[in-house]
Structure 1
Amino acid sequence: MSSNPTIDSLSYEEARDELVRVVSELEQGAATLEHSLELWERGEALAARCEEWLIGAKARLDAARAAAVTPAASSSDAGSAAEEEIF
């Protein structure tokens, strides 16, 4: 996680929406150099937070897929073993 507790508590959608606002403000080019640097640093932290959420979501999906495949494979293997014993 980032070292910013405010960013660490944001949901994916909150971090993404704020990142969009930060990028928009930077693209306008009206900010001072110092403010632009602060915006850039916040944008980097927000992007990292979004990435953490996406990595976590992918891990959950991968785990769910693996769990869904494992019982099917086990019952399929058991059925094959039973068929082999019959013949």
Structure 2
Amino acid sequence: MTDTTAAPDVAALTFEQALAELETLVGRLERGDVPLEESIAAYERGEALKARCAGLLSIAEARVEKIRVGADGRAAGTEALDPDRA
């Protein structure tokens, strides 16, 4: 990972993007090939990425719970949720 200040804003990442970046960071930290200062910055970014993923999963879970079932047993629709309100 290069300079973390150039990385995209965590709040703008999709779940998949945040998870992929988090997996990359964890891999680099586990290998131990990151200097101390960069490790600290990577850990901080990793915490933000983890929080983003958890927030998006919470939104998805709430959305699934709001699926309405019609009389025929099929999903009748969902309530749209704003992902930035989590």
TM-score, structure 2 as length reference: 0.70
In structure 2, which of residues 16, 23, 27 is the aligned counterpart of residue 24 of structure 1?
Answer: 27
Read off the aligned partner of 1:24 and give its amino acid letter.
Answer: G
Alignment of 1:1-87 (within 5 A): 6-64=9-67, 67-68=68-69, 72=71
Structure 1, unaligned stretches of length 5 or more? 73-87
Greater strand share, structure number:
2
Q: Which contiguous aligned blocks of 4+ residues in structure 1 show a shift greater than 3 angstroms?
A: none
Distance apart, 1:50 and its partner CA: 0.4
Distance apart, 1:31 and its partner CA: 1.1
How many residue pairs are counted as aligned between the two chains?
A: 64
Higher RCO (CA-CA < 8 Å; seq separation 6+): 1
Read off the aligned partner of 1:63 and give its amino acid letter.
Answer: K
Q: What is the RMSD of the two structures over their aligned residues, measured on CA atoms?
A: 1.3
Alpha-carbon distance in structure 2 between the residues aligned to 1:30 and 1:21: 13
Greater helix share, structure number:
1
Structure 2, unaligned stretches of length 5 or more? 1-7, 72-86
